[in-house]
């Protein structure tokens, strides 16, 4: 898509959801050079979402996940951040239960990469029975087993790692957050999601 197409109003003729899917698809190309996305297209979509606020209200969580990934990895601008925050506010106000789903991990992690944290959203996520559970035996909140051991499966194979990444970023960048989080079996869970053991870990396991 060239700039002349954008100027001709192509963005206004297509649905926003179609444009977001297109941007997310091409955003995975040439990730090392960040050249997969046409920046004027992203800016035009963000401008339209800003201009027509009701469109943000109608975005699904999947749409917000795709858009947040594009913005996070390719085109982080103040206007784009505002659109994502408005989308999050809509979910919190009308469908907070969506923030306890698997897709919410991807969305909140992308926001975290932008330095955007929301206490209420994180509390909902870390109390999700789909993702975590309180274990009296372990003495705290642990990762749901279906998530913890999904690394080698086709379903949700990155979900547990993303949840751990989000918690780590919360602890480092948002220390004022004191809400629910993974507190038990944490070392074993991290080890399960580490791609390779540390040298010290290899020596310990080998003994």
Whether the CA torsion 107, 112, 118, 124 is positive or negative: it is positive
Whether the CA torsion 49, 55, 57, 63 is positive or negative: it is negative
> What is residue 6's predicted lDDT score, i.e. its pLDDT?
56
**7-21 pLDDT per residue, tens:** 447 788 889 999 999
| 103 φ, ψ (degrees, to nearest 5) | -65, -30
The mean pLDDT of 182-192, rounded to a whole number, is 90
The mean pLDDT of 151-180, rounded to a whole number, is 86
- Confidence bin at 202 (pLDDT 50/70/90): very low
CB 126 within 8 A of CB 182: yes
What is the rounded distance in angstroms from the CA atom of residue 90 to the CA atom of residue 121? 12
> What is residue 4's predicted lDDT score, i.e. its pLDDT?
53
> What is residue 207's predicted lDDT score, i.e. its pLDDT?
45
The mean pLDDT of 68-84, rounded to a whole number, is 96
> What is residue 64's predicted lDDT score, i.e. its pLDDT?
97
Identify the burial level of 80 via C-beta atoms within 10 angstroms of its C-beta, where 0-12 means exposed, 13-18 middle and 19 or more buried: buried
Residues 6+ apart with CB under 8 A from 103: 61, 62, 65
- Confidence bin at 112 (pLDDT 50/70/90): very high
**21-73 pLDDT per residue, tens:** 999 988 877 666 667 788 999 999 999 999 998 999 999 999 999 999 999 99
Average per-residue pLDDT for the chain = 87
> What is residue 203's predicted lDDT score, i.e. its pLDDT?
43
**126-145 pLDDT per residue, tens:** 999 999 999 999 889 999 98
> What is residue 206's predicted lDDT score, i.e. its pLDDT?
46
Q: Is the pLDDT of residue 5 over 60?
A: no
> What is residue 177's predicted lDDT score, i.e. its pLDDT?
95
The mean pLDDT of 155-164, rounded to a whole number, is 83
Q: Is the pLDDT of residue 205 over 50?
A: no
What SS3 state is found at 140? strand
CB 112 within 8 A of CB 71: no
């Amino acid at each position: 898509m060239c700039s002349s197409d954008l100027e001709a109003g192509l963005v206004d003729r297509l649905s926003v959801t179609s444009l977001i899917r297109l941007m997310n698809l091409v955003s995975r190309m040439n990730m090392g050079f960040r050249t997969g996305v046409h920046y004027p297209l992203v800016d035009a979509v963000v401008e339209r979402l800003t201009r027509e606020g009701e469109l943000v209200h109608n975005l699904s969580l999947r749409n917000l996940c795709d858009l947040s990934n594009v913005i996070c990895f390719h085109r982080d601008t103040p206007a784009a951040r505002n659109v994502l925050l408005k989308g999050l506010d809509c979910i919190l106000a009308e469908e907070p239960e969506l923030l306890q789903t698997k897709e919410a991990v991807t969305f909140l992690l992308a926001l975290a990469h932008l330095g955007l944290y929301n206490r209420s959203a994180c509390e909902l996520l870390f109390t999700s029975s789909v993702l975590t559970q309180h274990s009296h035996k372990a003495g705290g909140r642990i990762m749901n087993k279906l998530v913890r051991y999904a690394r080698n499966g086709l379903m949700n194979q990155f979900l547990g790692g993303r949840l751990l990444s989000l918690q780590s970023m919360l602890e480092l960048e948002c220390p004022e957050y004191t809400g629910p989080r993974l507190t038990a079996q944490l070392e074993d869970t991290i080890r399960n999601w580490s791609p390779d053991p540390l040298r010290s870990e290899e020596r310990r396991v080998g003994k």
